[in-house]
Amino acid sequence: MSDKKATLTVGDQSWEFPIKSGSIGPDVIDIGSLYKETGMFTYDPGFTSTASCESEITYIDGEKGVLLYRGYPIEQLAEHGDFLETCYLLLYGHLPTPEEKKDFDTRVTRHTMVHEQMSKFYTGYRRDSHPMAVMVGIVGALSAFYHDSTDIADPHQRMVASLRMIAKMPTMAAMAYKYSIGQPFVYPRNDLSYAANFLHMCFSVPAEPYEVNPVLARAMDRIFILHADHEQNASTSTVRLAGSSGANPFGCIAAGIACLWGPAHGGANEAALNMLHQIGTVDRVAEFVAKAKDKNDPFRLMGFGHRVYKNYDPRARIMQQTCHEVLNELGHGDDPTLQVAMELEKIALSDEYFIEKKLYPNIDFYSGITLRALGFPAEMFTVLFAVARSVGWIAQWKEMVEDPSQRIGRPRQLFAGAPMRDYVEMDDR
């Protein structure tokens, strides 16, 4: 705790508020008593200058292009670890020993199946339903099946709920995909890794054997690692806000999925791919780059730049490498959409306009291309994001529940509507 104070002066009155310092990052002014002392609120649309909680999980330095999970750079985790190791790190705060990793992998693997009755839920949706609509309902329904892990006051139940969430999300996501294309559900296999098992459930069919390509499985695993958590973003804040009321963890994660669905958040990679479809062919790339530079043209390049990262998105470097590995493995050189993407990437990394404005290709640009190459339709992109982000959501939810200073969320407002007025009877109007 810092001894520094911040002074607020309004007219001839002044008040002091404590300044708190984290282990790294900017200091924060504790305004918890602001309204009580001054009778005023702060006004911060989008909460861009407001710290809503104290957390030890993820740190971002947007100016330097740094992303840390529990202090570890994302580049190191993606290069040397796997997704379940990252899950363990986010949940427990430290990297596992070999024995801890083996035990954790086993516990997650033993929870991958879902209650058989849940398979009937999918038939209640139209075949052409967006998979995210399905996921919001299916994940929320988990609370109706797993009553033994909804008591948020019980540490054991919190951990069981966390394991179930991580384990069952790939199964439910694969079922949503299979249902949308009219194929039978594929059960999980305990002999496969987390990412390989997910690809198996999505792309295998009962009629023939399916061998998971290790290059593609590694790419899927990296995508999961890179999307596992991202500090207090919109969906994570939604999960925390829902959880602050004491809601069960499955309901909180369903709320996070609903928020993630938005095109400004989890739907960004789908939007980036739609933009590539709009450009169409390589010979039109220069035309659309010119449109992007024109302030009077409504066209905007999707998948470039980032609200948080004012430097290069550290996840994009890894995703770029992974994207090229997948394309080299699958030989998608004749795909016009991917050709457009590669030409756009080349221009963005060399054009002075993009370099000056730091409009580098971000993770959404590369992940959209990679997921398309893996065989997923654009509608599934945000679902895969939700699979990966589940561990971040549940870790943040768990931290929030265990924080004694946390209270139910209650943002305030600057009211701009009509002041108090008298009701006028119908006949007198």
pLDDT digits (tens, 9 = 90+) for 405-420: 889 999 999 999 999 9
Whether the predicted pLDDT of 337 surpasses 90: no
Which residues are registered as beta bridge partners of 29?
19
Which residues are registered as beta bridge partners of 277?
none
pLDDT score, position 135: 96
Confidence of residue 98 (pLDDT cuts 50, 70, 90): very high
What global pTM score does this model have? 0.90
pLDDT score, position 193: 96
Rounded Cα distance between 389 and 392, Å, is 5
Whether the predicted pLDDT of 260 surpasses 90: yes
pLDDT score, position 265: 81
Over residues 183-205, the pLDDT tens digits come to 999 999 999 999 999 999 999 99
Which of 41-45, 327-331, 381-385 bottoms out in mean pLDDT, i.e. has the lowest? 327-331
CA atoms within 13 A on the CB side of 24: 13
Residues identified as active-site: 306, 364
pLDDT score, position 262: 84
- Mean pLDDT score of the chain, rounded to an integer? 91
Between 301 and 140, residue with greater pLDDT: 140
Whether the predicted pLDDT of 122 surpasses 80: yes
Could you tell me the sign of the dihedral formed by the alpha carbons of 277, 282, 284, 288, in that order?
A: positive
